A and B are shown apart, each in its own frame.
Chain A
Amino acid sequence: MSTGLKILTAHLEDPELHTLAGYERHGGYGALRKTLREGLTPEKVQEEVKAANLRGRGGAGFPAGIKWGFLPKNTDKPIYLCINADEGEPGTFKDRLIMERNPHALIEGCLIACHAIKAKVCYIYIRGELLKCIKHVERAIEEARAKGLIGKNILGSGLDCEIHVHPGAGAYICGEEMSLIESLEGKPGQPRNKPPFPASVGLFNCPTIVNNVETIAYVPWIIQNSGQAFADLGSEKNGGLKIWGVSGHVKRPGLWELPMGITARQLIEDYAGGMRGPKKMKGYIPGGSSCPPLLGTEIDIPLDFENMKKAGTMLGTGCLTVFEEGVCTVRFAQRIAHFYEHESCGQCTPCREGTGWLYRNIKKLEHGEQLDGGLDLLESICNRIMGNTICALGDAAAMPIQGFLRRFGDEWAAHLGAGRCPIQG
Protein backbone atom coordinates (compact mmCIF):
# COMPACT_ATOMS: atom_id res chain seq x y z
CA MET A 1 0.00 0.00 0.00
CA SER A 2 3.02 2.27 0.18
CA THR A 3 3.45 4.39 -2.92
CA GLY A 4 7.11 4.74 -2.12
CA LEU A 5 6.64 8.45 -1.51
CA LYS A 6 8.76 10.00 1.19
CA ILE A 7 8.44 13.47 2.66
CA LEU A 8 10.73 14.15 5.61
CA THR A 9 13.20 11.46 4.65
CA ALA A 10 13.08 11.99 0.89
CA HIS A 11 16.54 13.45 0.51
CA LEU A 12 18.47 11.95 3.39
CA GLU A 13 21.09 10.71 0.95
CA ASP A 14 22.15 14.36 0.53
CA PRO A 15 24.76 14.90 3.24
CA GLU A 16 24.06 18.65 3.07
CA LEU A 17 20.31 18.33 3.67
CA HIS A 18 20.66 19.75 7.17
CA THR A 19 22.05 23.01 5.79
CA LEU A 20 19.94 25.77 4.28
CA ALA A 21 21.57 25.33 0.88
CA GLY A 22 20.91 21.60 0.96
CA TYR A 23 17.32 22.04 2.04
CA GLU A 24 16.59 24.68 -0.58
CA ARG A 25 18.18 22.54 -3.30
CA HIS A 26 15.28 20.14 -2.77
CA GLY A 27 12.57 22.80 -2.79
CA GLY A 28 12.87 23.75 0.87
CA TYR A 29 11.04 26.87 2.08
CA GLY A 30 8.79 26.58 -0.99
CA ALA A 31 5.76 26.18 1.26
CA LEU A 32 6.64 29.27 3.27
CA ARG A 33 7.20 31.26 0.09
CA LYS A 34 3.88 30.01 -1.27
CA THR A 35 2.10 30.99 1.97
CA LEU A 36 3.48 34.51 1.73
CA ARG A 37 3.22 34.89 -2.06
CA GLU A 38 -0.37 33.69 -2.26
CA GLY A 39 -1.28 35.50 0.93
CA LEU A 40 -2.69 32.35 2.56
CA THR A 41 -4.56 33.52 5.64
CA PRO A 42 -4.13 31.86 9.03
CA GLU A 43 -7.64 30.46 8.62
CA LYS A 44 -6.76 28.94 5.25
CA VAL A 45 -3.63 27.27 6.67
CA GLN A 46 -5.63 25.90 9.59
CA GLU A 47 -8.24 24.56 7.17
CA GLU A 48 -5.63 22.68 5.17
CA VAL A 49 -4.09 21.17 8.29
CA LYS A 50 -7.54 20.10 9.46
CA ALA A 51 -8.28 18.53 6.09
CA ALA A 52 -4.95 16.70 6.28
CA ASN A 53 -6.04 14.63 9.28
CA LEU A 54 -2.64 15.34 10.73
CA ARG A 55 -2.67 13.58 14.11
CA GLY A 56 -0.24 14.64 16.81
CA ARG A 57 2.92 12.55 16.60
CA GLY A 58 3.90 13.05 20.24
CA GLY A 59 1.84 10.09 21.37
CA ALA A 60 -1.73 11.15 21.96
CA GLY A 61 -2.76 11.59 18.32
CA PHE A 62 -4.85 14.69 18.76
CA PRO A 63 -5.65 16.31 15.37
CA ALA A 64 -3.34 19.31 15.00
CA GLY A 65 -5.78 21.51 13.08
CA ILE A 66 -8.46 21.06 15.72
CA LYS A 67 -6.04 21.83 18.55
CA TRP A 68 -5.06 25.10 16.88
CA GLY A 69 -8.76 25.98 16.69
CA PHE A 70 -8.97 26.01 20.51
CA LEU A 71 -6.98 29.25 20.73
CA PRO A 72 -9.03 32.27 21.76
CA LYS A 73 -10.19 34.18 18.69
CA ASN A 74 -9.60 37.62 20.11
CA THR A 75 -6.80 38.07 22.57
CA ASP A 76 -4.47 40.94 23.24
CA LYS A 77 -1.91 38.58 24.74
CA PRO A 78 0.94 37.15 22.72
CA ILE A 79 0.40 33.58 21.47
CA TYR A 80 3.25 31.07 21.72
CA LEU A 81 4.15 27.95 19.79
CA CYS A 82 6.19 25.38 21.72
CA ILE A 83 7.76 22.48 19.92
CA ASN A 84 8.04 19.36 21.99
CA ALA A 85 11.47 17.92 21.18
CA ASP A 86 11.99 16.28 24.56
CA GLU A 87 12.04 12.81 23.03
CA GLY A 88 12.45 10.42 25.94
CA GLU A 89 9.68 7.83 25.91
CA PRO A 90 11.58 4.51 26.08
CA GLY A 91 11.65 2.89 22.66
CA THR A 92 11.26 6.20 20.82
CA PHE A 93 13.98 7.63 18.61
CA LYS A 94 12.30 9.35 15.65
CA ASP A 95 12.39 13.10 16.33
CA ARG A 96 16.17 12.95 16.54
CA LEU A 97 16.29 11.97 12.88
CA ILE A 98 14.36 15.07 11.83
CA MET A 99 16.41 17.44 13.99
CA GLU A 100 19.79 16.00 13.08
CA ARG A 101 19.26 15.38 9.38
CA ASN A 102 16.42 17.66 8.25
CA PRO A 103 16.13 20.50 10.79
CA HIS A 104 14.97 23.10 8.24
CA ALA A 105 11.78 21.09 7.66
CA LEU A 106 11.01 21.67 11.33
CA ILE A 107 11.92 25.38 11.09
CA GLU A 108 9.79 25.89 7.99
CA GLY A 109 6.93 24.07 9.73
CA CYS A 110 7.32 26.32 12.78
CA LEU A 111 7.16 29.45 10.63
CA ILE A 112 3.99 28.34 8.84
CA ALA A 113 2.38 27.09 12.05
CA CYS A 114 3.19 30.38 13.80
CA HIS A 115 1.49 32.22 10.96
CA ALA A 116 -1.54 29.92 11.26
CA ILE A 117 -1.94 30.49 14.99
CA LYS A 118 -0.73 34.11 14.94
CA ALA A 119 2.26 33.43 17.14
CA LYS A 120 5.32 35.63 16.87
CA VAL A 121 7.59 33.56 19.07
CA CYS A 122 8.29 29.85 18.97
CA TYR A 123 10.41 27.88 21.46
CA ILE A 124 11.81 24.51 20.49
CA TYR A 125 12.26 22.56 23.72
CA ILE A 126 15.00 20.04 22.93
CA ARG A 127 16.01 17.31 25.32
CA GLY A 128 19.33 18.45 26.80
CA GLU A 129 21.21 15.22 26.09
CA LEU A 130 20.56 15.56 22.36
CA LEU A 131 23.48 17.90 21.70
CA LYS A 132 23.70 17.17 17.99
CA CYS A 133 20.00 18.02 17.58
CA ILE A 134 20.50 21.24 19.54
CA LYS A 135 23.47 22.24 17.40
CA HIS A 136 21.82 21.42 14.09
CA VAL A 137 18.57 23.16 14.94
CA GLU A 138 20.41 26.22 16.31
CA ARG A 139 22.51 26.40 13.20
CA ALA A 140 19.41 26.05 11.00
CA ILE A 141 17.81 28.95 12.87
CA GLU A 142 20.88 31.12 12.37
CA GLU A 143 21.05 30.33 8.67
CA ALA A 144 17.36 31.04 8.21
CA ARG A 145 17.62 34.28 10.14
CA ALA A 146 20.56 35.43 8.02
CA LYS A 147 18.43 34.82 4.92
CA GLY A 148 15.50 36.85 6.25
CA LEU A 149 13.33 33.76 6.81
CA ILE A 150 13.18 34.34 10.56
CA GLY A 151 12.88 37.67 12.35
CA LYS A 152 11.12 40.88 11.49
CA ASN A 153 9.26 41.33 8.20
CA ILE A 154 9.96 37.85 6.84
CA LEU A 155 10.86 38.06 3.14
CA GLY A 156 9.24 41.48 3.02
CA SER A 157 5.80 40.10 3.92
CA GLY A 158 5.27 42.19 7.01
CA LEU A 159 5.15 39.03 9.17
CA ASP A 160 7.41 38.70 12.22
CA CYS A 161 8.49 35.44 13.81
CA GLU A 162 11.29 34.49 16.18
CA ILE A 163 12.38 30.92 16.89
CA HIS A 164 14.55 29.91 19.85
CA VAL A 165 15.97 26.66 21.11
CA HIS A 166 15.44 25.92 24.79
CA PRO A 167 17.51 23.00 26.09
CA GLY A 168 16.01 20.62 28.62
CA ALA A 169 18.10 19.28 31.47
CA GLY A 170 17.23 15.64 31.98
CA ALA A 171 13.67 14.95 33.11
CA TYR A 172 11.33 12.74 31.08
CA ILE A 173 8.31 14.42 32.64
CA CYS A 174 9.15 17.64 30.76
CA GLY A 175 7.76 15.96 27.64
CA GLU A 176 4.32 16.34 29.19
CA GLU A 177 3.03 19.61 27.78
CA MET A 178 2.25 21.43 31.04
CA SER A 179 5.54 20.31 32.54
CA LEU A 180 7.33 21.52 29.42
CA ILE A 181 5.75 24.93 29.88
CA GLU A 182 6.80 25.10 33.55
CA SER A 183 10.30 24.06 32.57
CA LEU A 184 10.41 26.76 29.87
CA GLU A 185 9.57 29.29 32.56
CA GLY A 186 12.65 28.23 34.49
CA LYS A 187 10.89 26.10 37.08
CA PRO A 188 10.96 22.43 38.08
CA GLY A 189 9.00 20.47 35.49
CA GLN A 190 5.94 19.73 37.57
CA PRO A 191 2.78 19.55 35.45
CA ARG A 192 -0.05 21.97 36.13
CA ASN A 193 -3.62 20.89 36.52
CA LYS A 194 -5.80 21.02 33.40
CA PRO A 195 -8.07 22.90 32.76
CA PRO A 196 -7.16 25.55 31.97
CA PHE A 197 -5.58 24.04 28.86
CA PRO A 198 -2.47 25.62 27.37
CA ALA A 199 -4.51 27.00 24.46
CA SER A 200 -6.03 29.45 26.93
CA VAL A 201 -3.43 29.68 29.73
CA GLY A 202 -0.02 28.36 28.76
CA LEU A 203 3.50 29.73 28.58
CA PHE A 204 3.92 32.94 30.61
CA ASN A 205 0.14 32.65 31.17
CA CYS A 206 -0.50 33.30 27.49
CA PRO A 207 -2.36 31.17 24.92
CA THR A 208 0.03 28.42 23.82
CA ILE A 209 0.10 25.52 21.40
CA VAL A 210 2.40 22.58 22.10
CA ASN A 211 3.14 20.26 19.19
CA ASN A 212 5.59 17.46 18.56
CA VAL A 213 8.55 17.89 16.16
CA GLU A 214 7.24 15.39 13.62
CA THR A 215 3.74 16.90 13.64
CA ILE A 216 5.04 20.34 12.72
CA ALA A 217 7.65 19.11 10.25
CA TYR A 218 4.83 17.71 8.07
CA VAL A 219 3.08 21.08 7.79
CA PRO A 220 5.14 22.44 4.85
CA TRP A 221 4.29 19.43 2.64
CA ILE A 222 0.61 19.86 3.50
CA ILE A 223 0.69 23.50 2.44
CA GLN A 224 2.57 22.69 -0.78
CA ASN A 225 0.36 19.77 -1.77
CA SER A 226 -2.98 20.33 0.04
CA GLY A 227 -4.49 18.80 3.12
CA GLN A 228 -6.52 16.37 1.05
CA ALA A 229 -3.38 15.02 -0.63
CA PHE A 230 -1.84 14.35 2.79
CA ALA A 231 -5.01 12.74 4.12
CA ASP A 232 -5.11 10.45 1.08
CA LEU A 233 -1.67 9.06 1.90
CA GLY A 234 -2.81 7.50 5.18
CA SER A 235 -5.71 5.52 6.56
CA GLU A 236 -9.15 6.68 7.66
CA LYS A 237 -8.89 9.65 10.05
CA ASN A 238 -5.10 9.18 10.13
CA GLY A 239 -3.56 11.31 7.45
CA GLY A 240 -0.23 11.06 5.77
CA LEU A 241 3.01 9.30 6.32
CA LYS A 242 4.82 8.89 9.60
CA ILE A 243 8.28 8.01 10.71
CA TRP A 244 8.10 4.49 12.10
CA GLY A 245 10.76 2.97 14.27
CA VAL A 246 11.57 -0.64 15.04
CA SER A 247 14.02 -1.62 17.77
CA GLY A 248 14.73 -4.68 19.89
CA HIS A 249 15.19 -8.21 18.60
CA VAL A 250 14.92 -7.57 14.87
CA LYS A 251 17.66 -8.04 12.31
CA ARG A 252 17.85 -4.41 11.17
CA PRO A 253 16.47 -1.93 13.69
CA GLY A 254 15.83 1.49 12.21
CA LEU A 255 13.45 4.17 11.02
CA TRP A 256 11.27 4.22 7.91
CA GLU A 257 8.81 6.78 6.60
CA LEU A 258 5.67 4.95 5.54
CA PRO A 259 1.89 5.52 5.50
CA MET A 260 -0.29 5.60 8.58
CA GLY A 261 -2.14 2.30 8.82
CA ILE A 262 0.77 0.09 7.81
CA THR A 263 1.02 -3.13 9.82
CA ALA A 264 3.65 -4.33 12.24
CA ARG A 265 4.14 -7.37 10.00
CA GLN A 266 5.08 -5.14 7.07
CA LEU A 267 7.39 -3.02 9.19
CA ILE A 268 9.13 -5.96 10.81
CA GLU A 269 9.28 -8.36 7.88
CA ASP A 270 9.69 -6.03 4.91
CA TYR A 271 11.81 -3.31 6.48
CA ALA A 272 13.44 -4.47 9.69
CA GLY A 273 14.57 -7.76 8.16
CA GLY A 274 12.48 -10.00 10.44
CA MET A 275 13.62 -11.41 13.75
CA ARG A 276 17.34 -11.37 14.54
CA GLY A 277 17.64 -15.13 15.15
CA PRO A 278 15.73 -18.39 15.11
CA LYS A 279 13.44 -17.43 18.00
CA LYS A 280 9.89 -16.42 17.21
CA MET A 281 8.47 -13.04 18.07
CA LYS A 282 6.88 -13.06 21.50
CA GLY A 283 5.39 -9.60 21.40
CA TYR A 284 5.88 -5.92 20.77
CA ILE A 285 5.10 -2.54 22.22
CA PRO A 286 3.59 -0.36 19.50
CA GLY A 287 4.77 3.09 20.47
CA GLY A 288 6.87 3.58 23.56
CA SER A 289 6.80 2.15 27.06
CA SER A 290 3.46 3.61 28.08
CA CYS A 291 1.57 1.50 25.54
CA PRO A 292 0.31 -1.96 26.53
CA PRO A 293 2.12 -4.73 24.63
CA LEU A 294 0.63 -6.86 21.86
CA LEU A 295 1.41 -10.49 21.10
CA GLY A 296 3.72 -11.64 18.32
CA THR A 297 0.61 -12.99 16.60
CA GLU A 298 -1.15 -9.60 16.61
CA ILE A 299 0.88 -8.10 13.82
CA ASP A 300 -1.74 -7.64 11.12
CA ILE A 301 -3.65 -4.83 12.79
CA PRO A 302 -3.28 -1.51 10.95
CA LEU A 303 -1.05 0.78 12.96
CA ASP A 304 -3.20 3.85 13.46
CA PHE A 305 -4.78 5.53 16.45
CA GLU A 306 -8.25 3.97 16.17
CA ASN A 307 -7.16 0.42 15.37
CA MET A 308 -4.59 0.31 18.16
CA LYS A 309 -7.20 1.54 20.60
CA LYS A 310 -9.57 -1.21 19.47
CA ALA A 311 -6.79 -3.73 20.09
CA GLY A 312 -6.51 -2.52 23.69
CA THR A 313 -3.37 -0.51 23.31
CA MET A 314 -2.23 2.80 21.82
CA LEU A 315 -0.26 3.82 18.77
CA GLY A 316 1.81 6.18 20.91
CA THR A 317 4.91 7.40 19.10
CA GLY A 318 4.88 4.66 16.44
CA CYS A 319 8.26 3.32 17.46
CA LEU A 320 7.89 -0.44 17.97
CA THR A 321 9.89 -2.39 20.55
CA VAL A 322 10.02 -6.02 19.45
CA PHE A 323 10.96 -8.93 21.70
CA GLU A 324 11.50 -12.61 21.06
CA GLU A 325 10.50 -15.83 22.82
CA GLY A 326 12.54 -16.42 25.95
CA VAL A 327 12.24 -12.85 27.22
CA CYS A 328 10.57 -12.75 30.61
CA THR A 329 7.72 -10.27 30.44
CA VAL A 330 7.79 -9.75 34.20
CA ARG A 331 11.40 -8.63 33.99
CA PHE A 332 10.52 -6.49 30.97
CA ALA A 333 7.70 -4.84 32.94
CA GLN A 334 10.06 -4.35 35.87
CA ARG A 335 12.30 -2.22 33.62
CA ILE A 336 9.30 -0.14 32.63
CA ALA A 337 8.00 0.19 36.19
CA HIS A 338 11.46 1.25 37.34
CA PHE A 339 11.46 3.97 34.70
CA TYR A 340 8.16 5.48 35.81
CA GLU A 341 9.07 5.32 39.45
CA HIS A 342 12.26 7.21 38.62
CA GLU A 343 10.49 9.79 36.44
CA SER A 344 7.43 10.57 38.56
CA CYS A 345 7.64 14.24 39.53
CA GLY A 346 6.22 13.39 42.94
CA GLN A 347 3.35 15.88 43.05
CA CYS A 348 0.45 13.42 43.24
CA THR A 349 0.35 10.75 45.91
CA PRO A 350 -1.19 8.02 43.70
CA CYS A 351 1.62 8.44 41.14
CA ARG A 352 4.50 9.01 43.55
CA GLU A 353 3.55 6.12 45.84
CA GLY A 354 1.85 3.95 43.24
CA THR A 355 4.77 3.85 40.80
CA GLY A 356 7.14 2.83 43.60
CA TRP A 357 4.71 0.25 44.88
CA LEU A 358 4.28 -1.21 41.41
CA TYR A 359 8.04 -1.35 40.86
CA ARG A 360 8.78 -3.02 44.19
CA ASN A 361 6.07 -5.63 43.79
CA ILE A 362 6.95 -6.45 40.20
CA LYS A 363 10.55 -6.81 41.31
CA LYS A 364 9.45 -9.28 43.97
CA LEU A 365 7.43 -11.17 41.40
CA GLU A 366 10.40 -11.23 39.06
CA HIS A 367 12.30 -13.19 41.69
CA GLY A 368 9.42 -15.59 42.16
CA GLU A 369 8.19 -14.24 45.49
CA GLN A 370 4.58 -14.44 46.56
CA LEU A 371 2.54 -11.20 46.53
CA ASP A 372 -0.06 -10.39 49.19
CA GLY A 373 -3.24 -10.70 47.18
CA GLY A 374 -1.50 -12.30 44.21
CA LEU A 375 -1.67 -10.60 40.84
CA ASP A 376 -4.82 -8.78 41.91
CA LEU A 377 -2.57 -6.61 44.02
CA LEU A 378 -0.90 -5.25 40.89
CA GLU A 379 -4.25 -4.73 39.21
CA SER A 380 -5.54 -2.84 42.23
CA ILE A 381 -2.48 -0.58 42.40
CA CYS A 382 -2.98 0.26 38.72
CA ASN A 383 -6.64 1.02 39.29
CA ARG A 384 -5.80 3.34 42.14
CA ILE A 385 -3.38 5.32 39.97
CA MET A 386 -5.47 5.50 36.81
CA GLY A 387 -7.44 8.70 36.46
CA ASN A 388 -6.38 9.99 39.88
CA THR A 389 -3.40 12.11 38.93
CA ILE A 390 -2.62 15.55 37.58
CA CYS A 391 -0.93 14.40 34.40
CA ALA A 392 -0.94 11.32 32.20
CA LEU A 393 2.33 9.92 33.57
CA GLY A 394 0.33 8.05 36.19
CA ASP A 395 -1.79 6.37 33.52
CA ALA A 396 1.31 5.80 31.43
CA ALA A 397 2.84 3.85 34.32
CA ALA A 398 -0.27 1.77 34.98
CA MET A 399 -1.47 0.95 31.47
CA PRO A 400 1.48 -1.13 30.30
CA ILE A 401 1.35 -3.20 33.50
CA GLN A 402 -2.35 -3.89 32.98
CA GLY A 403 -1.52 -4.77 29.38
CA PHE A 404 1.22 -7.21 30.37
CA LEU A 405 -1.15 -8.85 32.87
CA ARG A 406 -3.80 -9.19 30.21
CA ARG A 407 -1.54 -10.60 27.49
CA PHE A 408 0.91 -12.60 29.57
CA GLY A 409 -1.13 -13.36 32.72
CA ASP A 410 -0.24 -17.07 32.78
CA GLU A 411 3.46 -16.33 32.75
CA TRP A 412 3.01 -13.80 35.53
CA ALA A 413 0.97 -16.29 37.59
CA ALA A 414 3.72 -18.87 37.13
CA HIS A 415 6.12 -16.52 38.92
CA LEU A 416 4.00 -16.31 42.07
CA GLY A 417 5.84 -18.16 44.80
CA ALA A 418 8.02 -20.05 42.29
CA GLY A 419 11.15 -18.95 44.13
CA ARG A 420 12.82 -17.90 40.90
CA CYS A 421 11.98 -16.63 37.45
CA PRO A 422 10.53 -19.61 35.58
CA ILE A 423 11.42 -18.05 32.22
CA GLN A 424 14.93 -16.64 32.43
CA GLY A 425 16.03 -18.21 35.71
Chain B
Amino acid sequence: MSVPSLAFSATAMQRFETIVARYPHRQAALLPVLHLAQAEFGWISPEAMEYVGGLLDVPPVKVQHVASFYTMYNLKPVGRFHVQVCTNTSCWLTGGVEILEHLKAKLGVGNKGTTADGLFTLEEVECLASCGTAPAIQVNDLKDSEWPIRYHEGQTVASADALIDALRKRATEGGAA
Protein backbone atom coordinates (compact mmCIF):
# COMPACT_ATOMS: atom_id res chain seq x y z
CA MET B 1 0.00 0.00 0.00
CA SER B 2 1.20 3.45 -0.86
CA VAL B 3 1.94 5.91 1.89
CA PRO B 4 -0.73 8.62 1.88
CA SER B 5 0.78 11.93 0.90
CA LEU B 6 -1.66 13.92 3.02
CA ALA B 7 -1.60 14.75 6.71
CA PHE B 8 -3.59 16.91 9.10
CA SER B 9 -2.04 20.09 10.44
CA ALA B 10 -1.24 20.18 14.15
CA THR B 11 -4.47 22.09 14.90
CA ALA B 12 -6.55 19.64 12.90
CA MET B 13 -4.84 16.76 14.68
CA GLN B 14 -5.84 18.25 18.02
CA ARG B 15 -9.40 18.61 16.83
CA PHE B 16 -9.26 15.02 15.58
CA GLU B 17 -8.28 13.74 19.03
CA THR B 18 -11.16 15.64 20.66
CA ILE B 19 -13.64 14.18 18.20
CA VAL B 20 -12.45 10.58 18.55
CA ALA B 21 -12.68 10.77 22.34
CA ARG B 22 -16.44 11.30 22.10
CA TYR B 23 -17.20 7.78 20.94
CA PRO B 24 -16.68 4.26 22.30
CA HIS B 25 -15.62 3.08 18.81
CA ARG B 26 -13.29 4.87 16.44
CA GLN B 27 -15.43 4.32 13.34
CA ALA B 28 -18.22 6.39 14.91
CA ALA B 29 -16.02 9.44 14.40
CA LEU B 30 -16.02 8.95 10.64
CA LEU B 31 -18.56 11.64 9.67
CA PRO B 32 -17.04 14.46 11.73
CA VAL B 33 -13.53 13.42 10.70
CA LEU B 34 -14.49 13.43 7.03
CA HIS B 35 -15.79 16.99 7.55
CA LEU B 36 -12.45 17.86 9.10
CA ALA B 37 -10.61 16.29 6.18
CA GLN B 38 -12.71 18.22 3.69
CA ALA B 39 -11.96 21.47 5.51
CA GLU B 40 -8.24 20.64 5.46
CA PHE B 41 -7.85 19.25 1.97
CA GLY B 42 -10.72 20.92 0.07
CA TRP B 43 -12.27 17.66 -1.09
CA ILE B 44 -12.34 13.97 -0.24
CA SER B 45 -9.80 12.50 -2.62
CA PRO B 46 -8.87 8.80 -2.65
CA GLU B 47 -5.73 9.78 -0.72
CA ALA B 48 -7.86 11.57 1.88
CA MET B 49 -10.01 8.46 2.26
CA GLU B 50 -6.94 6.33 2.77
CA TYR B 51 -5.56 8.78 5.31
CA VAL B 52 -8.82 9.04 7.28
CA GLY B 53 -9.27 5.27 7.15
CA GLY B 54 -5.78 4.85 8.56
CA LEU B 55 -6.48 7.23 11.43
CA LEU B 56 -9.71 5.46 12.37
CA ASP B 57 -8.80 1.84 11.59
CA VAL B 58 -11.47 1.70 8.89
CA PRO B 59 -10.63 0.12 5.51
CA PRO B 60 -10.50 2.77 2.75
CA VAL B 61 -13.24 0.98 0.80
CA LYS B 62 -15.57 1.45 3.78
CA VAL B 63 -14.60 5.11 3.97
CA GLN B 64 -15.44 5.38 0.28
CA HIS B 65 -18.80 3.69 0.88
CA VAL B 66 -19.66 6.19 3.61
CA ALA B 67 -18.29 9.29 1.91
CA SER B 68 -20.26 8.57 -1.26
CA PHE B 69 -23.52 8.11 0.65
CA TYR B 70 -23.61 11.67 1.95
CA THR B 71 -24.04 14.69 -0.30
CA MET B 72 -21.88 17.10 1.73
CA TYR B 73 -18.64 15.35 0.91
CA ASN B 74 -17.11 16.45 -2.36
CA LEU B 75 -15.64 13.43 -4.07
CA LYS B 76 -14.45 15.71 -6.85
CA PRO B 77 -12.96 19.17 -6.47
CA VAL B 78 -15.60 21.91 -6.54
CA GLY B 79 -15.37 25.62 -7.19
CA ARG B 80 -14.34 27.87 -4.34
CA PHE B 81 -17.97 28.91 -3.89
CA HIS B 82 -20.42 26.04 -3.92
CA VAL B 83 -23.72 27.80 -4.57
CA GLN B 84 -26.69 25.62 -3.65
CA VAL B 85 -30.18 26.75 -4.56
CA CYS B 86 -33.21 25.17 -2.92
CA THR B 87 -36.12 24.44 -5.23
CA ASN B 88 -38.16 22.29 -2.88
CA THR B 89 -41.76 23.00 -1.90
CA SER B 90 -41.69 26.39 -0.14
CA CYS B 91 -38.81 27.69 -2.26
CA TRP B 92 -40.51 26.42 -5.41
CA LEU B 93 -43.65 28.33 -4.43
CA THR B 94 -41.71 31.53 -3.89
CA GLY B 95 -39.33 31.66 -6.84
CA GLY B 96 -36.45 29.24 -6.20
CA VAL B 97 -36.63 27.79 -9.71
CA GLU B 98 -36.41 31.24 -11.32
CA ILE B 99 -33.33 31.97 -9.21
CA LEU B 100 -31.71 28.70 -10.21
CA GLU B 101 -32.40 29.33 -13.90
CA HIS B 102 -31.05 32.86 -13.65
CA LEU B 103 -27.84 31.69 -12.01
CA LYS B 104 -27.38 28.94 -14.60
CA ALA B 105 -27.52 31.59 -17.31
CA LYS B 106 -25.39 34.09 -15.42
CA LEU B 107 -22.66 31.59 -14.63
CA GLY B 108 -23.01 29.71 -17.91
CA VAL B 109 -23.18 26.32 -16.22
CA GLY B 110 -25.77 23.61 -15.75
CA ASN B 111 -26.74 21.84 -12.55
CA LYS B 112 -23.57 20.70 -10.73
CA GLY B 113 -21.44 22.57 -13.24
CA THR B 114 -18.32 24.54 -12.33
CA THR B 115 -17.31 27.79 -14.00
CA ALA B 116 -14.14 27.75 -16.11
CA ASP B 117 -12.34 30.00 -13.62
CA GLY B 118 -13.01 27.43 -10.88
CA LEU B 119 -14.80 30.00 -8.73
CA PHE B 120 -18.36 28.70 -8.73
CA THR B 121 -20.08 25.36 -8.62
CA LEU B 122 -23.86 25.64 -8.96
CA GLU B 123 -26.21 23.00 -7.63
CA GLU B 124 -29.93 22.51 -7.14
CA VAL B 125 -30.58 21.17 -3.64
CA GLU B 126 -33.44 19.98 -1.49
CA CYS B 127 -35.00 21.77 1.49
CA LEU B 128 -32.49 23.72 3.59
CA ALA B 129 -34.84 24.15 6.58
CA SER B 130 -35.25 27.81 5.64
CA CYS B 131 -38.78 27.48 4.31
CA GLY B 132 -40.06 30.39 6.41
CA THR B 133 -37.49 32.63 4.74
CA ALA B 134 -37.74 31.05 1.29
CA PRO B 135 -36.25 31.03 -1.25
CA ALA B 136 -32.93 30.05 0.26
CA ILE B 137 -29.41 29.66 -1.08
CA GLN B 138 -26.53 27.98 0.72
CA VAL B 139 -23.01 29.03 -0.19
CA ASN B 140 -19.98 27.03 0.90
CA ASP B 141 -16.70 28.90 0.75
CA LEU B 142 -13.66 26.64 0.92
CA LYS B 143 -11.49 29.55 2.02
CA ASP B 144 -13.70 30.70 4.89
CA SER B 145 -12.44 28.86 7.95
CA GLU B 146 -14.86 30.58 10.33
CA TRP B 147 -18.11 30.20 8.37
CA PRO B 148 -17.46 27.69 5.55
CA ILE B 149 -21.24 27.41 5.11
CA ARG B 150 -23.48 30.45 4.95
CA TYR B 151 -27.22 30.69 4.32
CA HIS B 152 -28.69 33.49 2.25
CA GLU B 153 -32.41 33.63 2.85
CA GLY B 154 -35.36 35.53 1.45
CA GLN B 155 -33.66 35.74 -1.93
CA THR B 156 -34.91 37.22 -5.20
CA VAL B 157 -33.44 36.95 -8.68
CA ALA B 158 -31.92 40.40 -8.17
CA SER B 159 -30.43 39.63 -4.75
CA ALA B 160 -29.05 36.30 -5.93
CA ASP B 161 -27.49 38.07 -8.90
CA ALA B 162 -25.89 40.59 -6.54
CA LEU B 163 -24.73 37.78 -4.26
CA ILE B 164 -22.72 36.21 -7.09
CA ASP B 165 -21.13 39.56 -7.89
CA ALA B 166 -20.23 40.07 -4.24
CA LEU B 167 -18.65 36.62 -4.03
CA ARG B 168 -16.64 37.25 -7.18
CA LYS B 169 -15.45 40.54 -5.72
CA ARG B 170 -14.47 38.78 -2.51
CA ALA B 171 -12.38 36.32 -4.51
CA THR B 172 -10.57 38.96 -6.53
CA GLU B 173 -9.91 41.14 -3.50
CA GLY B 174 -8.72 38.17 -1.47
CA GLY B 175 -9.71 37.33 2.07
CA ALA B 176 -12.62 35.34 3.34
CA ALA B 177 -15.36 37.70 4.46
Contacts and interface: CB of A to CB of B under 8 A. Distances in A.
Contacts of B58: 186
Interface string A106-144: 000000000000000000000111111000000000000
A396 to B, nearest CB: 13
A131 B148 contact: yes
B43 interface: no
A183 B58 CA distance: 15
B30 interface: yes
Interface in B120-146: 126-134, 138
Most buried by B among A247, A249, A319: A247
B78 interface: no
A96 B31 contact: no
B157 interface: no
Q: How large is the interface on A (under 10, 10 to 19, 20 to 34, 35 or more residues)?
A: 35 or more
A167 B34 CA distance: 10
Contacts of A374: none
A399 to B, nearest CB: 15
A253 B32 CA distance: 33
Interface string A80-96: 00000001111111011
A247 B131 contact: yes
A72 interface: no
Contacts, number: 141
A247 B69 CA distance: 30
A147 to B, nearest CB: 19
A131 B149 contact: yes
A166 B32 contact: yes
A129 B89 contact: no
A95 B73 CA distance: 24
A187 to B, nearest CB: 6
B29 interface: yes
B132 A247 contact: yes
Given A93-B132, A129-B72, A321-B93, A168 B65 contact: no
Contacts of A289: 88-89, 127
Interface stretch (B6-14, B20-28, B110-118, B163-171): B20-28
Contact of B126 (A167, A168, A342): A342
Interface in B44-69: 56, 58, 65-66, 69
A185 B32 contact: no
A239 interface: no
Contact of A285 (B72, B89, B130, B133): B89
B89 A91 contact: yes
A204 B24 CA distance: 8
Interface of A: 87-93, 95-96, 127-132, 162, 164, 166-172, 183-189, 204, 245-249, 253-255, 285, 289, 319, 321, 323, 327, 332, 335-336, 339, 342-343
Closest 7 CB pairs of A and B: A186-B30, A169-B70, A170-B71, A170-B72, A188-B69, A186-B27, A90-B127
12 contacts: A93-B129, A93-B132, A93-B133, A169-B71, A186-B28, A188-B69, A189-B69, A247-B131, A248-B131, A321-B89, A323-B93, A335-B89
